[in-house]
Structures are given as C-alpha cells and as structure tokens.
Amino acid sequence: MPWLLALLAFFVGFAIGAAGEDKATTATSTSSPAVSAPEVSAPTQAATTPPAATPPAAPAPPPPGPRTTFGEGQYLVGEDIAPGRYKTAGPDKSASFPSCYWARLRNDSGEFSAIIANGNTEGPGSVTVRTGEYLEARGPCDWSLAP
C-alpha cells in the first residue's frame, strides 16, 4: 500500500503542476503585446505668478550745485549753499536748549575777527548771506531758502 500512496502523491503533484502550467500558458498566450502610448506633452501653462518685483529705486542724488536747505554746520555760500535769504521756524520748544545760533563769516579761520554778523533765535528767524561768505549754524534749527 505504500506504493499506492506514492502513486497518488505523484498524480496529485502532476495535476497541480499541469494546472499551474496551463494558467501560465493561458496568461501569456492571451495577453496582448505591450502597446506603447503615443507621447503627449503637457500643455504649456502661462505663468500664474507675476514677475519678480524690481527693487525700489535708490533715492535720486541731490541736484548738482549749492543746496537750498541745511541744518547745523559751516557752509561756503555759493558752493555749499546758494546765496540768498534763509528762514527758520525756530527750534523745537521741547529741545534741551531751544535756541539756534547763526554767524556770517568772512572766512573759515575761526577767528573772532572773521564774524560779519551773528545772532541767536528762539523762534522764527532769518539771515541773508552772499556768495563768498561762510555761514555757521548751530542748534536744532532747519533753514530753507526763502521764496
């Protein structure tokens, strides 16, 4: 009887192997050859983001020639500042020393004898300067050429 079991195992194994082979054959014989799809390129899309913003332009350089406004400092009239009458509204009243000094000077020597005229203002004031003079301004005042 052991031979009967061996024979039965043989036929069962053969049947299983044949069935698997038929499926594999069927699968390969019924499958169609691979068909490649035509290449389709994606449609080109318009840019949805705006172009990069250009950086803000640098402030324009001051126009050539003498300035018509100034603050504290010493200026050569006709070169650093334009000649004419300059006005100020005066210093800010909350300043620790609410007074502004001005001096018209013959030269920039720093000598007392160079002073043509000078003054202090605690409110609105003005000074007229001519080409070739120096003007010294001290304190928290903004000066502008009068129209």
Dump pLDDT digits (tens) for 46-62.
556 666 677 777 777 76
What counts of helices (H) and strands (E) characterise the chain? 1, 8
pLDDT of residue 47: 56
The helix or strand, by DSSP H or E, that contains position 138, with its residue range, turns out to be: strand 134-138
The chain-wide mean pLDDT, for the chain, equals: 78
Instruction: Give residue 137's pLDDT band: very low, low, confident or very high (50, 70, 90).
Output: very high
| 111 pLDDT above the threshold of 70 | yes
> Between 51 and 72, where is the model more confident?
72
Mean local confidence (pLDDT), 21-43: 51
- Report the candidate in 69, 76, 74 with the shortest Cα–Cα distance to residue 130: 76
DSSP 14-74: HHHHHHHHHHHHHHHHHSPPP-PPPP-PPPPPPP-SPPPPPPPPPPPPPPSS-BSEE-SEE
List beta partners, residue 37: none
Average pLDDT over residues 84-110: 93
The token pair at 106 is 């013959």
pTM for this one? 0.56
Q: Is the dihedral of CA 81, 77, 73, 137 positive or negative?
A: negative
Exposed/middle/buried for residue 77 (C-beta within 10 Å: 0-12, 13-18, 19+)? buried
